[in-house]
Amino acid sequence: MRWWCDRAIGTARKKFEEDEQPKSFQSVGLVIGVTSINTNHPIEYIQCNVSDPDDTQAKISPLTDVTHIFYVTWTSRLTEDENCEANGAMFRNVLRAVIPNAPNLRHVCLQTRTKQYMGPFEAFGKIQPNFYHTLEDILFEEGDKKEGLTWSIHRPNLIFGFLPYSLMNLIGTLCVYAAICKNERLPLKSPGTKAWLYRYSYLVASNANLIAKQQIWVAVDLYVKNEAFNCNNGDVFRWKHLWKVLAEQFGIEDYGFEESEKLSLVEMMKGKDAVWEDIVRENQLQPTKLEEVGLWWFGDLNMREESRIDSMNKSKEHGFLGFRNSKNSFISWIHKMKSYKIVP
């Protein structure tokens, strides 16, 4: 696991001059779960295995100036019971390293997802096991040990963002798939098993920078504490609309859903490693392996989602009015994948 520390003055960040001493009211944010960093902000980066309590204590407990924790990492196991155990241990290791040693710690932001809402409406939050529930229980248990420590829980939906090596980068995966189809002059066929999901199912997305904005809002707002919030762009989309956008961005004219076929990215992308190597070399892209940037199982999973829409009303009622246009967001992240030479 990796983390980085970002120093800021209030809500406005500034880079300190080498001979300038930090102000007494500076805030220090500790973000757990970073896969890449590209910023001009003053960053201190330390790689830490938060599943190892000894490594966590050795590397994180000395950070006595931390004022805010942003926990956004996770690990995957074969069963949900194992997910609960592994993810719970990681989160507890971090909190036990920071809470006793950071006297000015004020707030903990925990990011989960809409897996919180599983099953029928009446069963939301009640289906067990669910490792998100485990994380929340640990947050309350460990947080109670420090007087005045506040918390917030953030539940984004399908995340649109730019993290080429993330285990949940859907847009990056679709870009790689489109690049391979373009290279081989193949139609851009949508994976999935049901045409109506592709054509009619309404979904919502959560822009990565909107999620960050919501978490910072809660962290610095004195009147919004100890609450859980959904986080999405505030609009809806259908895959048939974004699939057209994806095809246009890669110059593919033949695209859509084949009703006579049940397509899987996992199956279609088997044996394409050499093809991707050729694409990387011919287009002078960043050196990557197909398995690093193409998360086919995750693409299949999301392309089979039925309508799942969550409300932003609670955030609005508390004063957070942020939103994003999902189509524009989709396009902007594709452009970023291209500008950073991840895809052609």
* pLDDT tops 60 at residue 5: no
Query: What pLDDT band is residue 12 in, cutting at 50, 70 and 90?
Result: very low
* pLDDT tops 90 at residue 31: yes
Ranges 8-12, 18-22, 73-77, 319-323: which has the least confidence: 8-12
Residue bearing the bigger pLDDT, 223 or 21: 223
Q: Residue 61 has what DSSP assignment? A: T
CB contact at 8 A, 72 and 112: no
- 231, β-bridge pairs: 156
Unique residue bearing structure tokens 């926990």:
71
Query: What pLDDT band is residue 195 in, cutting at 50, 70 and 90?
Result: low
Which pLDDT belongs to residue 184? 97
In what helix (H) or strand (E) does residue 230 lie, and over which residues does it extend? Answer: strand 227-231
Q: State which CATH number among 3.40.50.12780, 3.20.20.70, 3.40.50.720, 3.20.10.10 fits the domain covering 2-156.
A: 3.40.50.720
In degrees, rounded to 5, the angle at the alpha carbon of residue 87 between the alpha carbons of residues 85 and 91 is: 115
Percent over 90 (pLDDT), the chain: 67
Which pLDDT belongs to residue 35? 66
CB contact at 8 A, 206 and 157: yes
How far apart (Å, rounded) are the C-alpha atoms in residues 73 and 111?
8
How far apart (Å, rounded) are the C-alpha atoms in residues 178 and 13?
38
* pLDDT tops 80 at residue 333: yes
Q: Residue 305 has what DSSP assignment? A: P
* Reported pTM: 0.86
Q: What is the pLDDT of residues 132-166, one digit of tens each?
A: 899 999 999 999 999 999 999 999 999 999 877 77
How far apart (Å, rounded) are the C-alpha atoms in residues 107 and 105?
6
How far apart (Å, rounded) are the C-alpha atoms in residues 55 and 46?
11
How confident is the model over 3-11, as a mean pLDDT? 36
How far apart (Å, rounded) are the C-alpha atoms in residues 206 and 204?
7
CB contact at 8 A, 212 and 318: no
Residue 330 burial by Cβ neighbours in a 10 Å radius (0-12, 13-18, 19+): buried
Q: What are phi and psi of 153, to 5 degrees?
A: -120, 130
How confident is the model over 157-178, as a mean pLDDT? 89
Query: What pLDDT band is residue 14 in, cutting at 50, 70 and 90?
Result: very low
Give the residue extent of every domain in the chain.
2-156, 164-204+236-307+324-339
Q: Residue 123 has what DSSP assignment? A: G
Catalytic residues: 115, 132
How far apart (Å, rounded) are the C-alpha atoms in residues 250 and 243?
11
Which pLDDT belongs to residue 11? 32
How far apart (Å, rounded) are the C-alpha atoms in residues 270 and 294?
11
Q: Pick the closest to residue 203 from 158, 162, 168 (CA basis).
A: 158
Q: What is the pLDDT of residues 278-289, one digit of tens each?
A: 999 999 999 999
- 158, β-bridge pairs: 205
Rg of the chain on CA atoms, in Å: 21
Structural tokens at position 9 = 């003055």
CB contact at 8 A, 265 and 296: yes
How far apart (Å, rounded) are the C-alpha atoms in residues 176 and 182?
10
